[in-house]
Amino acid sequence: MKTILALETSCDETAVAILRGRELLASEIASQIAEHEKYGGIVPEVASRNHLIQAPRLLERVACSGKIDISNVDAFAATSGPGLASSLMIGVSIAKGLATGFGKPYLAINHLEGHLLSPFFSDGEVKPNVSLIVSGGHTMLIRVHGLAGYELIGRTVDDAAGEAFDKVAKMLGLGYPGGPEIEKRARGGDPARFNLPRSMLDSENFSFSGLKTAVRYLFPKLHGDFLPDLCASFQQAIVDILVRKTIAAARKYNVDLVTVSGGVSCNQDLRWQLGAACARKGFEFKSAEPWLCTDNAAMIAFTASLRLQAEFESKVTEEIDPNLALA
């Protein structure tokens, strides 16, 4: 069994994990939400500065809690893209330094592949499927043939779903990140009260900019206790789009399995409605565990473990790629 140490610093979460075979020995995450909340979004300079402070601390903590000497790690991995360049550089530089210093393999991991494979974390076998990755920066449908065999079906042409949640939450004077804030206020609201648009339903691509604009024009006209209904209606519009397109892709590509991952997949309405739609249409449904949905190093270690087993390895001269594509 190989032991992998992985770092994830693609955006504003500093994360380190150690995985031995299928056993997660340790996983630590330092959140920066409080740091960026006052700005209403991510400030790259603040994020990278905090990564520099937190990463060495987390390395010590995972080594201690995992009861392992870092010199005994078999390979080191880090997220090499996509993400913020100034953030990616921190984790990649540390992983490369450790790999070089201990004479061990280095693996550059695509952040999106980490999300894509996270639904299989508990069983370790990647099966063919249609996968929905939905997060703050990405909304895409991927046809998965197996490890490293990915085919892009569709992606957002403007805002990602999570970005739309954040922007509408800011518009409504709610907190950051916007998804959990809107989901919380949507409970008990009437999702049918406001007829908001569902854009590009007949396309494999996504668009959420028009939905955000519709809320912007509607918001000043509303009075009274409208917030729960508006949040519920906005959330339902996003869920409808995601579910309809995912099911259509699964039917078109004749797969047996549908998976979902990424931060927005923590949304309970999305999980329940997508799972129910899969059950109605005869598809198996797998979602990543909630703790694996937001940015974390465990999914990066898991992906690195599968790649190492398949004899993939990266050169330490390999550069980060803030715009790294998955397929």
**Residue 239's CATH number:** 3.30.420.40
Q: Are residues 147 and 227 in the same domain?
A: yes
> Where in the sequence is the domain holding 169, given as residue range(s)?
128-288
Could you tell me if residue 40 is inside a domain? yes
- The pLDDT profile of the chain, 327 residues, written as one tens digit per residue, is 899 999 999 999 999 999 999 999 999 999 887 777 777 778 888 889 999 999 999 999 999 999 999 999 999 999 999 999 999 999 999 999 999 999 999 999 999 999 999 999 998 889 999 999 999 899 999 999 999 999 999 999 999 999 999 999 999 999 889 999 999 999 999 999 999 999 999 999 999 999 999 999 999 999 999 999 999 999 999 999 999 999 999 999 999 999 999 999 999 999 999 999 999 999 999 999 999 999 999 999 999 999 999 999 999 999 999 999 997
Could you tell me if residue 273 is inside a domain? yes
Could you tell me if residue 65 is inside a domain? yes
Could you tell me if residue 214 is inside a domain? yes
Could you tell me if residue 219 is inside a domain? yes
Could you tell me if residue 201 is inside a domain? yes
Could you tell me if residue 314 is inside a domain? no
Q: Are residues 45 and 86 in the same domain?
A: yes
Q: Are residues 169 and 139 in the same domain?
A: yes
Q: Are residues 49 and 169 in the same domain?
A: no
Q: Are residues 203 and 261 in the same domain?
A: yes
Domains in the chain: how many in total? Answer: 2
Please state the three-class secondary structure of the chain as a single string: CCEEEEEECCCCCEEEEEEECCEEEEEEEECCHHHHHCCCCCCHHHHHHHHHHHHHHHHHHHHHHCCCCHHHCCEEEEEEECCCHHHHHHHHHHHHHHHHHHCCCEEEEEHHHHHHHHHHCCCCCCCCEEEEEECCCCEEEEEEEECCEEEEEEEECCCCHHHHHHHHHHHCCCCCCHHHHHHHHHCCCCCCCCCCCCCCCCCCCECCHHHHHHHHHHHHHCCCCCHHHHHHHHHHHHHHHHHHHHHHHHHHCCCCEEEEECHHHHCHHHHHHHHHHHHHHCCEEEECCHHHHCCCCHHHHHHHHHHHHCCCCECCCCCCCCCCCCC
Q: Are residues 171 and 268 in the same domain?
A: yes
Q: Are residues 109 and 142 in the same domain?
A: no
Q: Are residues 71 and 133 in the same domain?
A: no
Q: Are residues 9 and 56 in the same domain?
A: yes
Q: Are residues 10 and 54 in the same domain?
A: yes
Could you tell me if residue 325 is inside a domain? no
